[in-house]
Amino acid sequence: MKTKITRKYLLTLLAVMAIQMPSIAQNYPHQSDVLWVTTPDSPDWLYSLKQEARITVAVYEHGMVVNDADITYQCGPELMPTDQQGTVRLKNGAAMIPMGTLTEPGFRDCSMQITLNDHTYKHHIKVGFAPHKLKPYTQQPEDFMTYWENAKDEASRCPMEVTRTYVPEYSSDKTDCYLVKLQAYKKGQYVYGYLTQPKAPGKYPVVISPPGAGIKPMNPLKEIFYADNGLIRFDMEIHGIRPDLDEATYKEISAAFGTANNSYLVNGIDNRDTYYLKKVYLSLLRAIDYLTTLPEWDGKNLMAQGNSQGGALALVATALDQRITACAVAHPALSDMAGYKANRAGGYPHLFTNYSNIDTPEKLNTLAYYDVVNFARNIRVPVYMTWGYNDNVCPPTTSYIVYNTLTCPKTAYLTPVNEHWVSQNTRRHIMSWLVKQVK
């Protein structure tokens, strides 16, 4: 018997997949026998420079407190070599670990592990030292905005071509979903996206949402609550690959140019005009061109929202396009990417640690034209940012640097325990903030 694929079925499937998805790099893997509770002696996990930080550690196995067991630990500056290590013993349900301090603004990370019944469990926690004083290593080129204004002018000459196809499996009695194909940047180059909008006649605000990093299928049901709450949303694809291809095909494509030194994130990086991200950044503007033609748009409110790489691209679009009225992002990537040259954590994709031959004058020059901190300097509309401290993908150092660089009206929603994820509650917070910006 053939199963009918309904929107309700897909939503249920997504929920099950989210529960079953392995969390190898996370502090709290699904269905673990062990729970770590790490509590800094500063309630907000933040310290002054030269102030010593300490954490209390408790470990529970099957919900029962662990005693008389050793925890080994290593501490050091975030994403840098460790500078202290030791062993503490759990007594009376807890142990105290000294994390040290910093003399310059930033974060320290403490990695811990314990062996119980011949199995090793790991955990880590980061605390900050005067992160509100963090400043970018990346400097803005004198011709930064001139360069991008010229690039925008060139890209605008590409004729707009739009193909829009109704997608019944992602639609419902309340919302309509369309797969959109747009010609962008240069003739013959395209990007895609899923457009979801309320079915009821009316005029609505629009939210453009660029994607996170990687080359992977897309599913608009993850954020369908935007359309359910009276917002038109465009979940954008940036590579020119149909987002409805099967996962196996996407894995083959990703293996070809999505990883290591074949990654799109280093494609053409020796020159600012050939760097892959130039097409990506300018394609955002073509998507906005299209969204502002929608008869259902309210004609006033156009907002950008994204997480990780998507957060970076949302900030880029906001800086480049004055039609955007507000921006909300989580842990933006592509931020102070050369920060490693200041002997501290730099931003995703961690070019100086994950790729080879990056530290050249040509590549550093290119990065300066694509780094999010230089776009953040040019944003004038309200921005909402949220990030966690335990994130090793988009480290809190670089999120703070972006936030500190913003001179526009801004709101921070800090969730220290978070690694590289955003809870459903926080996703709703983001949408609620955007709704409040509607005029």
pLDDT in tens, 100-113: 999 999 999 999 99
- 171, 308, 335, 399: the catalytic one is 308
- 109, 176, 371, 391: the catalytic one is 391
Question: In whole angstroms, what is the distance from residue 385 CA to residue 345 CA?
Answer: 19
Secondary structure E strands in 369-424: 383-387, 410-414
Tens-binned pLDDT, residue by residue, of the chain (439 aa): 333 444 544 444 344 333 333 344 578 887 899 999 999 999 999 999 999 999 999 999 999 999 999 999 999 999 999 999 999 999 999 999 999 999 999 999 999 999 999 999 999 999 999 999 999 999 999 999 999 999 999 999 999 999 999 999 999 999 999 999 999 999 999 999 999 999 999 999 999 999 999 998 899 999 999 999 999 999 999 999 999 999 899 999 888 877 778 899 999 999 999 999 999 999 999 999 999 999 999 999 999 999 999 999 999 999 999 999 999 999 999 999 999 999 999 999 999 999 989 999 999 999 999 999 999 999 999 999 999 999 999 999 999 999 999 999 999 999 999 999 999 999 999 999 999 999 9
308 annotated active-site: yes
Query: How big is the CA angle at 206 (ends 202 and 208), to the nearest 5 degrees?
Result: 155
27: nearest Cα among 35, 18, 17, 39: 35
Question: In whole angstroms, what is the distance from residue 127 CA to residue 53 CA?
Answer: 8
391 annotated active-site: yes
Question: In whole angstroms, what is the distance from residue 135 CA to residue 82 CA?
Answer: 23
124 annotated active-site: no
DSSP 23: -
* Per-residue pLDDT reduced to its tens digit, 228-267: 999 999 999 999 999 999 989 999 988 887 777 889 999 9
DSSP string, 294-344: -TTEEEEEEEEEEETHHHHHHHHHHHH-TT--EEEEES-SSSSGGGGGGTS
pLDDT of residue 220: 94
430: nearest Cα among 226, 174, 234, 195: 226
pLDDT of residue 25: 57
pLDDT of residue 413: 98
Go through the domains of the chain in sequence order and give each one's CATH number: 34-133 (2.60.40.10), 144-436 (3.40.50.1820)
The amino acid at residue 300 is: K
- Beta strand pairing call for 119-129 and 106-116: antiparallel
Structure tokens at 143: 């011709």
Number of other CB atoms surrounding residue 114 within 10 Å: 21
The amino acid at residue 182 is: L
pTM: 0.93
126: nearest Cα among 103, 94, 99: 99
